[in-house]
Amino acid sequence: MSFPVRAMQKPIELLGSAPHRAYFLAGAIQAVLTILWWLCSLIGIFPAAQWVVASVWVHAFLMMYGFFPFLIFGFLMTAAPNWVKGKKVDRTRYLPAFLFMAAGIFMFYPSLLIGRIALAICVSLYLAGWLMSGLALLNIVIASDAKDKIHAYTVIINLLVGWLGCVSYLCWLLTGDAIWLHGSLTTGIWFFLLPIFLSVSHRMIPFFSAAVLQNYEPRRPNAPLFALLAGMAAHAILELAGYPSYLWIVDIPMAIAAFQLSWLWEIGRSLEVRLLAMLHIAFSWLGIALTLYALQSLILFISHDALLGRAPLHALTIGYFSSMAIAMVTRVTLGHSGPPLVADKTAWLLFLGFQFSAIFRIMGDLPIAAASDCYIAAAIVWLICFAAWGIRHVPMYWKPRVDGRKG
């Protein structure tokens, strides 16, 4: 009797029935809009002179703070309560928070034509929703009696640190002082996104692997996790202090730790199951990115030449963060919509195709190809893959679960 009632719910009601539905929908739209805006800027459809701030800093903000928080909150509000055996996030907490975030980020685009004050208002709305979302999660973790809260506290604390990084961007909008912008960009990578993606990977990849691979021992050693978290903080401090030629001191050990985790989690065996392989392949980009960071720093140390440009950054942000976002959101979307937990041929090809977005963008920073062509190619591949992914998965957010269950 309950299934027909749920099936008759309106799409807007279903969107608000579980946090991942609303947050993932906004994150998917933003993932497309962020790069669509950037592509139009690259090819000159949107002249740079018409924006109230430089296009490159708009792009940086949107890439770090514009869509990942939606995907992160959608995932954490689904998974984190289970990690600590706590209560679910109540819709009276997450719906108002989501609406503030959505209003702020979607009004951000037209405000680029109005002025810095308008942008500051949009970012302030976004920050209000972000803080409300983070505190809702934090309260659940604090109230839980679970003994192991390492991953939950790590991600939530870094979510709140990321909020401070977004505040720093707001301060830059209001003052024009570049120190706030530099702090925002460094915080966004090393104190926000990377610690969260690492902690989620450390918590979920062994768990998902054990669920589908036979005779698999889910190893989750804390030593590499803590070493990587400490290395990220050290990297950020060195970067903020202006010592890029010494980053290799911490980046080499971090790269080794990342590759060690890939080996420990048996990346080779993951290829047996496409949906699982997506997670492992995405994680492998972390070791690659940290190796590029170390190589860049060593070149600076020896020759004072930043030969690799921003290749390490884009191996991290597109290769690791964005690939992992696709893999993890696909897993959660399928798991909470009712269809079989299987990445079909189309989903698999979309994920593999997306890897070329990272490859093209990295090539654009190397002295082997025309940079502008590579930038455009990377953006086009991103748009095709994210848009195609959205066409297949986004309707699940406003439809009932196919198995008739709640969620």
Question: Which amino acid, residue 318?
Answer: I
Structure-block tokens of residue 323: 């690939």
Number of domains in the chain: 1
Does any domain span residue 394? yes
**By the 8 A CB rule, do 182 and 194 touch?**
no
Structure-block tokens of residue 48: 């740079």
DSSP calls for 264-291: HTTHHHHTTSHHHHHHHHHHHHHHHHHH
Q: CATH number for the domain including 374?
A: 1.20.210.10
Alpha-carbon separation of residue 37 from 42, 58, 165, 270, 375 (angstroms): 9, 10, 22, 36, 13
Query: Rounded CA gap, 14 and 261, in Å?
Result: 38
- Give the contacts of 17 (CB within 8 A, at least 6 positions apart): 9, 91, 406, 407
Q: Give the H or E element holding residue 22.
A: helix 19-42
Does any domain span residue 406? no
Q: Which domain holds residue 143?
A: 15-398
> In a structure prediction context, what are the per-residue pLDDT tens digits for the chain, which is 407 residues long?
344 444 467 888 888 889 999 999 999 999 999 999 999 999 988 777 788 999 999 999 999 999 999 999 999 999 999 999 999 999 999 999 999 999 999 999 999 999 999 999 999 999 999 999 999 999 999 999 999 999 999 999 999 999 999 999 999 999 999 999 999 999 999 999 999 999 999 999 999 999 999 999 999 999 999 999 999 999 999 999 999 999 999 999 999 999 999 999 999 999 999 999 999 999 999 999 999 999 999 999 998 887 899 999 999 999 999 999 999 999 999 988 888 888 999 999 999 999 999 999 999 998 776 788 899 999 999 999 999 999 999 999 999 888 777 76
Q: Residue 113: helix, strand or coil by DSSP? A: coil
For the entire predicted model, the pTM comes to: 0.94
What are the start-end ranges of the H helices in 144-193? Answer: 150-175, 178-187
Residue 367 CB neighbour total at 10 angstroms:
8
Does any domain span residue 10? no
Does any domain span residue 351? yes
Does any domain span residue 216? yes
Look-up of token digits 């279903």? 14
